[in-house]
Amino acid sequence: PLTERRQAGGVRTIVLNNPRRRNALSLPMLQSLRRDLLHDVKSRELRVIVIAAEGPVFCSGHDLKELSSEDDVKHHSQVFELCAEVMTLIQKLPVPVIAKVNGLATAAGCQLVASCDIAVASEKSQFATPGVNIGLFCSTPAVALGRSLPRKVALEMLFTGEPLSAHEALMHGLVSKVVPEDKLEEETMKISQKICESSKSVLALGKATFYRQITQDLDTAYKITTKVMVDNLTLRDGQEGIEAFVQKRKPVWSH
């Protein structure tokens, strides 16, 4: 299988599993990734999704063999449209999605990291958008990159194709944490398990609201979030959390 899915303790790990092709986001790979992301996504047992990869390359982006002139425009459109669908799907899912990066993430692979809610990287990881060097500007990766990085940093990456080190990616906000390679699994699970302690319904509301308000002007953002705070209080878990705090006990979430 191009991706492998496993789940335990509320955490689903999806592994990009085509290291011989540098985990390229071919059409079949994108279809497999979408299928694993959507699988039983409303289950109360699912609380966090982690995207990881086999091999030294996290993801090299699109499979350039699919983008040769031998394929027609319709096929090219299908590849880019499905990729955009998967990237936006990540932010629409009702659970947090964490990229666990151990190696190189380039072009649409870098886009995948930027599209996740959280990204934890090993110290050896690098991030680049080198499409300009082969005559295919990384315009779709630029959507996610431009929303994660300062504009001038994103444009330098896009114009030069030069990679960011893991620590540079952390400094500019592309990743959340950088850890030694032997601590990557431990740190990713630590974050995942902390998320699992919270109410799924509260997190789903919070995640959806964050992405809804972040593109709005300040006044609109406050109008949206003010209403959502009131809506949050009507949730069963919203009241349970407050009651548990007042009663000095651990909340019992219904999710």
Q: What is the pLDDT of residues 183-212, one digit of tens each?
A: 999 999 999 999 999 999 999 999 999 999
What pLDDT score does 131 carry?
Answer: 96
How far apart (Å, rounded) are the C-alpha atoms in residues 183 and 168? Answer: 19
Our count of domains for the chain comes to 2
Is the per-residue pLDDT at 72 higher than 90?
A: no
> Pairing mode, if any, of strands 11-16 and 3-8?
antiparallel
Of residues 75 and 172, the one with the higher pLDDT is 172
Q: Do 51 and 16 contact (CB within 8 A), yes or no?
A: yes
- 255 lies in a domain? no
Strand partners, 6: 13
Residue 123 and residue 165 share a domain: yes
Q: How many helices (H) and strands (E) does the chain have?
A: 10, 10
What pLDDT score does 66 carry?
Answer: 87
Residue 152 and residue 227 share a domain: no
**Helix (H), strand (E) at residue 231:** helix 218-234
Q: List the CATH number of the domain containing 208.
A: 1.10.12.10
Neighbours of 110 (CB within 10 A): 31
Nearest to 164 by CA among 188, 183, 145, 144: 145
Residue 223 and residue 119 share a domain: no
What pLDDT score does 75 carry?
Answer: 87
Relative orientation angle of helices 139-148 and 151-160, to the nearest 10 degrees: 150
- 14 lies in a domain? yes
What pLDDT score does 225 carry?
Answer: 98
Is the per-residue pLDDT at 61 higher than 70?
A: yes
Is the per-residue pLDDT at 70 higher than 80?
A: no
The pLDDT tens digits of the residues spanning 99-156 come to 999 999 999 999 999 999 999 999 999 999 999 999 999 999 999 999 999 999 999 9
Residue 22 and residue 39 share a domain: yes
Residue 188 and residue 88 share a domain: yes
Mean predicted confidence (pLDDT) in 40-58? 97
What pLDDT score does 71 carry?
Answer: 66
**Average pLDDT value over all residues in the chain:** 96
Q: List the CATH number of the domain containing 175.
A: 3.90.226.10
Which residue range is the domain that position 187 belongs to?
3-196
- 252 lies in a domain? no
How far apart (Å, rounded) are the C-alpha atoms in residues 34 and 121? Answer: 22
